[in-house]
Structure 1
Amino acid sequence: MRLILIFAVLCFFYNETYGKVSLDIDKKLGTLNKPALKTIKSEDGDVIDCIDIYKQHAFDHPALRNHKIQMKPSVEFDTKKTTTPNNGSSKPITSQIWSKSGNCPVGTIPVRRVSRADIMRASSPSHFGRKTHHRYSFLDNALQHKANFNLTAERLREPLNNRSEAIIVALGFNFLGAQSDINIWNPQGVQAGDYSSAQIWLLGGVSNTFESIEAGWMVNQRVFGDSRTRLFASWTKDAYTKTGCINLLCSGFVQTSTKFALGATVEPVSILGGAQYFIAVSIYLDPNSGNWWLTCANNVMGYWPGILFNALKHSATAVQWGGEVYSPNLMMTKPHTKTPMGSGNWASTRWNRACFHTNLRIKDFSMQVKYPQYLSEYVDEHYCYSTRLFRDTYMSEPHFYFGGPGQNPQCP
């Protein structure tokens, strides 16, 4: 009798706990997967829903309930391309795999459908698609020493607790935009609970509550359920504490494009010693609306409304280009994660072996698009990942190489 009672109690608590989780997942799915006017089944397994542009998830945000969509920016980033890296040429990505199977009609936007399995991989439905909190202490120091351009990133930064970055950073100005051509790879061996990305960040505010808008490509099994290279964008206004997420997995980003889907696969990818591919990414402020626009592969994706932010309302105070690995097994934790960054090769291997950013540009209050005047390289874990800013000649376009294998004999 006692065993029966214990069994009944355990069943009660199991049903209470897992029943609630199941309901939370159902609620999350209902919020994320809006009714589709057309559905496209991609050959890579994704399901793309074409949803009414006026019923997208962005407008679930309290600050955007009465928001009027800005269909296109009033200004463009306006930049001219220069040369590609030495010893070869790289080709731009102009479409995604799903578009081979169909197109979304005018008045809709393509959204990758979220599955129950996707949400179940998260620590909880409320944390699905969100980054964990961290701080950028260099933002505080950069504000205090803004006039001293000789301060290096090494002196301005401290290691992050659950991320490892290999970046080049621009400080000392108020930035209205940034861009680069991001070399595309599919790093092999990204661990199930980790992610690896190549991206641009625009940052503002102070360390504990910094604001950030980001874009590039990532491999993230926990969110997407596979190891494909995917387009992503992200934002936060409180250092990822309670706000923001990647792609459209929370309300905020307003998409206007019918051609590209955030979270969808990016192909082809670069081949070691062979063909190289890149995606052109730019993020810039529309001075007339205060919205931050995102452009990928010369396709205007949409914008983060200025009303979402405080520090980023008028400008950013730092721009980063490079790569990031998220893992609970970083820094002093051993064994170190085996998750690679970039191509998985060291920055010193350079062209067609290491991942790179090229055509790095910023826009400041002069409204001129230019190569950043003051840049500093920074690596959180020198024995695990690396950077190298390289020019073939004094007059040639600089290329920023970054990446590494993660765990190795020097990074146990």
Structure 2
Amino acid sequence: MGKLNNPRLFLILILSYLSDRANGKVNFKELVDAKLKQLNKPAVKTIQSEDGDIIDCVDIYKQPAFDHPALKNHIIQMRPSFDLKKEKPSTENESSKPVVSQTWQRSGSCPEGTIPIRRIRREDLLRAESIDRFGRKPRAIVSKSNTTNQKDGHFPFINNTNIVLPTVEYESVAMLVAVGTDFIGATGDINIWNPRLSSPTDEFTTAQIWVKSGPADVFESVECGWIVFPNLYGDNRTRLFTHWTLDGTTSTGCYDLNCDGFVHTNPEIALGAALEPLSSLYGQQYYITVGMFKDPQTNNWWVKVGGDTPIGYWPGNLFSFLNHSSTLVEWGGLLFSPNVRTSNHTTAGMGSGHFASGLFGKACFIQNIATMDFSWQLKYPQWVGTWDNEFNCYSAYIDQQSNGTSPVFFFGGPGRNPDCP
């Protein structure tokens, strides 16, 4: 696979940069303008959302995905070839309600044949680490061995075996981990909150599902859930996101539609747009159902939200390992900060900002957890365990009310407290 930016535009940017530098100047404004033109495709209609976002309704065949060389002649698959019937939830609390609502939808809708894309503005690019890395996760430093400071065995304990997962620098996680050989789908109802961050410039927090395969330090993954990421989106709102990578985020992939790759097909849901309403402490709880499934006919990895609403897919020919199946699925939270696992630990929240022990109404949860293999049956994974690499800061807990119901996974925490770090 080649570099995932438009190679011709990238070459133009580099040549322009070198020419200007040779003449004693760097024309940064032109670099920014060129990147904005690459990211923001011509709009058929523009919607000004009341939360400040601008949503462009873009011709579905002119979306960023088709800047990728491998997708030059790609024919859009408008709907998945499979139909997963939504069954009655096995774990449902009367105080929780499903959500598939975004703030911008109150201000308008996109016409047929277009998709909604959140517009990237100049100030968004200027907040990024660099123009080239806009829309990507911060550079990851992954250790391949036992990398946490834990001494109590809080690694996943699966099938009577401790599974040592690599720790990424600056990341703290609290998750449910399932291992296998042939996962071709995963789903769950993710409780929606708006946790507080300590720093708007170098922290973000998520509640999500990861589907992974490949070597631990250069894994392939597709991800979906909600995120609070001020440096990327410009505010503290809770937003729907997708992410993908081919090499553990070293040089490939991005969030949402901020690079070529993800093919968006749904005219009603915008990636990166704010979700509403939000859950409240001991009050009404809201969740969004998220699922990622590999199409048996095309090998495309589809994203579904709200149970049975497909929003788009990553083409199967982008991947090597995931082109067949996944070997690792994770549900839970991630907190990114330079101040995790340090003596000056961040006070940023994960999940609801409360520990998993708070349970329903206080802690963030994921319910109706399921994976799918080649039997095409959704079921709770057989080999599963929890992992919290800073358990005094952010915790993970599986709660099962009875043998007749599926377990509910609770996770999260406040960060720095008398026991953390």
TM-score normalised according to structure 1 size: 0.90
Q: In the alignment, which of 334, 338, 342 is matched to residue 347 of structure 2? A: 338
Q: How does 1:216-295 map to 2 (within 5 A)?
A: 216-295=225-304
Q: Residues 16 and 368 of structure 1: is their aligned pair in 2 closer, same or farther, counting only changes over 3 Å? A: farther
Question: Is residue 308 of structure 2 the alignment partner of residue 308 of structure 1?
Answer: no
Partner in structure 1 of residue 186 of structure 2: 178
Q: Residues 342 and 230 of structure 1: is their aligned pair in 2 closer, same or farther, counting only changes over 3 Å? A: same
Q: In the alignment, which of 320, 323, 328 is matched to residue 318 of structure 1? A: 328
Out of 292-301 and 44-53, give the one that drifted further: 292-301
Q: How does 1:184-203 map to 2 (within 5 A)?
A: 184-192=192-200, 193-203=202-212
Partner in structure 1 of residue 8 of structure 2: none
Residues in 2 aligned to 1:40 and 1:179: alpha-carbon distance in whole angstroms: 31
Q: In the alignment, which of 157, 160, 171 is matched to residue 168 of structure 2? A: 160
Contact 1:134 1:240 survives alignment (8 Å): no
Partner in structure 2 of residue 22 of structure 1: 29
Partner in structure 1 of residue 109 of structure 2: 103
Out of 248-257 and 89-98, give the one that drifted further: 89-98
- The percentage of counterpart residues that share the same residue type is 49
For 1:199, the aligned partner's letter is Q
Tell me how many residue pairs correspond in the alignment.
Answer: 388
Superposition RMSD in Å = 1.9
Q: Residues 233 and 151 of structure 1: is their aligned pair in 2 closer, same or farther, counting only changes over 3 Å? A: farther
Q: Which structure carries more helix by proportion?
A: 1
Partner in structure 1 of residue 222 of structure 2: 213
Residues in 2 aligned to 1:374 and 1:117: alpha-carbon distance in whole angstroms: 45
Q: Residues 271 and 16 of structure 1: is their aligned pair in 2 closer, same or farther, counting only changes over 3 Å? A: farther
SS of match in other structure, 1:269: coil
Partner in structure 1 of residue 49 of structure 2: 42
Residues in 2 aligned to 1:32 and 1:112: alpha-carbon distance in whole angstroms: 10
Q: Residues 75 and 136 of structure 1: is their aligned pair in 2 closer, same or farther, counting only changes over 3 Å? A: farther
Q: CA deviation at 1:81?
A: 3.3
Contact 1:149 1:172 survives alignment (8 Å): no
For 1:245, the aligned partner's letter is C
Partner in structure 2 of residue 8 of structure 1: none
Q: CA deviation at 1:25?
A: 1.5
Question: Is residue 101 of structure 2 the alignment partner of residue 91 of structure 1?
Answer: no
Partner in structure 2 of residue 58 of structure 1: 65
For 1:189, the aligned partner's letter is L
- For each residue in 1:97-138, what CA deviation from the matched residue of structure 2 results, as whole angstroms up to 9, or x when unmatched? 111111100100000001111111111111111112344848
Q: Residues 254 and 349 of structure 1: is their aligned pair in 2 closer, same or farther, counting only changes over 3 Å? A: same
Partner in structure 2 of residue 143 of structure 1: none
Contact 1:214 1:235 survives alignment (8 Å): yes
Contact 2:290 2:304 survives alignment (8 Å): yes
Residues in 1 aligned to 2:255 and 2:404: alpha-carbon distance in whole angstroms: 38
Residues in 2 aligned to 1:117 and 1:347: alpha-carbon distance in whole angstroms: 37
- For each residue in 1:35-89, what CA deviation from the matched residue of structure 2 results, as whole angstroms up to 9, or x when unmatched? 1000001111110000000000000011111111011100033341314455x43
Partner in structure 1 of residue 149 of structure 2: none
Contact 1:137 1:156 survives alignment (8 Å): no
Contact 2:181 2:325 survives alignment (8 Å): no
Partner in structure 1 of residue 383 of structure 2: 374
Residues in 2 aligned to 1:260 and 1:233: alpha-carbon distance in whole angstroms: 12
Partner in structure 1 of residue 10 of structure 2: none
Q: Residues 16 and 344 of structure 1: is their aligned pair in 2 closer, same or farther, counting only changes over 3 Å? A: farther
Residues in 2 aligned to 1:240 and 1:151: alpha-carbon distance in whole angstroms: 31
SS of match in other structure, 1:27: helix
For 1:312, the aligned partner's letter is L
Unaligned stretches of 5+ residues in structure 2:
1-19, 146-156
- For each residue in 1:150-180, what CA deviation from the matched residue of structure 2 results, as whole angstroms up to 9, or x when unmatched? 254x532243212111001110231010000
Q: In the alignment, which of 378, 395, 400 is matched to residue 391 of structure 1? A: 400
Contact 1:190 1:196 survives alignment (8 Å): no
- For each residue in 1:275-305, what CA deviation from the matched residue of structure 2 results, as whole angstroms up to 9, or x when unmatched? 0000010100001001000011232100000
Contact 1:307 1:313 survives alignment (8 Å): yes
Residues in 2 aligned to 1:112 and 1:122: alpha-carbon distance in whole angstroms: 17
Q: In the alignment, which of 337, 354, 374 is matched to residue 363 of structure 2? A: 354
For 1:310, the aligned partner's letter is S
Residues in 2 aligned to 1:81 and 1:344: alpha-carbon distance in whole angstroms: 30
Residues in 1 aligned to 2:112 and 2:198: alpha-carbon distance in whole angstroms: 37
Q: In the alignment, which of 122, 130, 142 is matched to residue 136 of structure 2? A: 130
Q: Residues 304 and 190 of structure 1: is their aligned pair in 2 closer, same or farther, counting only changes over 3 Å? A: farther
- For each residue in 1:289-331, what CA deviation from the matched residue of structure 2 results, as whole angstroms up to 9, or x when unmatched? 0100001123210000001100000100010000001111122
